[in-house]
Amino acid sequence: MSDKAQPDLSSLLDANLGPDWSEDILSSSRLNIKRSTEQIADRERKSRLTSSYDHSRKRPRDERGKMRQTREGNSAKPNSARASRNEKTFHKISFFPSPDTFNAIVANLRETGRTFELFELASTILEKPERFVVRASIPKEAIDKEKTLCVSKLDGLVFDSSEAVIDHLIAKGLGNIYDVEEVETEPPSGNFPAINKCGITGDWLAPPNYHRYAEMIREHHVTKLDNITFDKFEKKIETVREPEAAAAWIEEMRKTRKYKLTKPKADDPENFDSLEALRKHLVFHKSAAFVKTCTNTEFHGRLLQSLSTSTLKYDIEITLEQQRRFPLDTALALLGRFRAAKFHHFKRGKKGISYISPIKRRRRVAGEHFSASIEALISFIEKNPLTEKGSLAEKHLGISADKKDDLKNSDAIRTLARDLHWLITEGYSTEYSDGRVEIRSPIVTSKERAVQQKPVKKSINSKIETKPEDLGDTSTESGSEKLD
Is 284 in the same domain as 155? yes
Residue 135 domain flag:
yes
Is 158 in the same domain as 278? yes
User: How many domains does the chain contain in total?
Assistant: 3
Residue 32 domain flag:
no
Is 350 in the same domain as 382? no
What mean pLDDT do residues 227-255 have? 88
Is 374 in the same domain as 430? yes
Is 167 in the same domain as 283? yes
Pairing state between β 178-184 and 344-348: unpaired
Residue where a domain stops, chosen among 293, 317, 339: 293
Is 268 in the same domain as 303? no
Is 312 in the same domain as 219? no
Is 126 in the same domain as 246? no
% residues pLDDT > 70 (the chain): 74
Angle (deg, nearest 10), helices 99-112 and 118-126: 140
Residue 482 domain flag:
no
- H-type helices in 253-357, by residue range? 275-285, 287-290, 311-325, 328-340
pLDDT digits (tens, 9 = 90+) for 75-124: 444 444 444 445 788 999 999 999 999 999 999 999 999 999 999 999 99
For residue 426, the model assigns a pLDDT of 94
Residue 329 domain flag:
yes
Q: How many residues does the chain have?
A: 484
Structural domain containing residue 200: 151-293
pLDDT confidence of 163, banded at 50, 70, 90? confident
Residue where a domain stops, chosen among 293, 317, 349: 293
For residue 73, the model assigns a pLDDT of 47
* Distance from C-alpha of 429 to C-alpha of 425, rounded to nearest angstrom: 8
Residue 445 domain flag:
yes
Is 388 in the same domain as 404? yes
Is 105 in the same domain as 206? no
Is 217 in the same domain as 280? yes
Residue where a domain stops, chosen among 246, 276, 293: 293
With beta carbons less than 8 A apart as the criterion, state whether 222 and 170 touch.
yes
Is 174 in the same domain as 214? yes
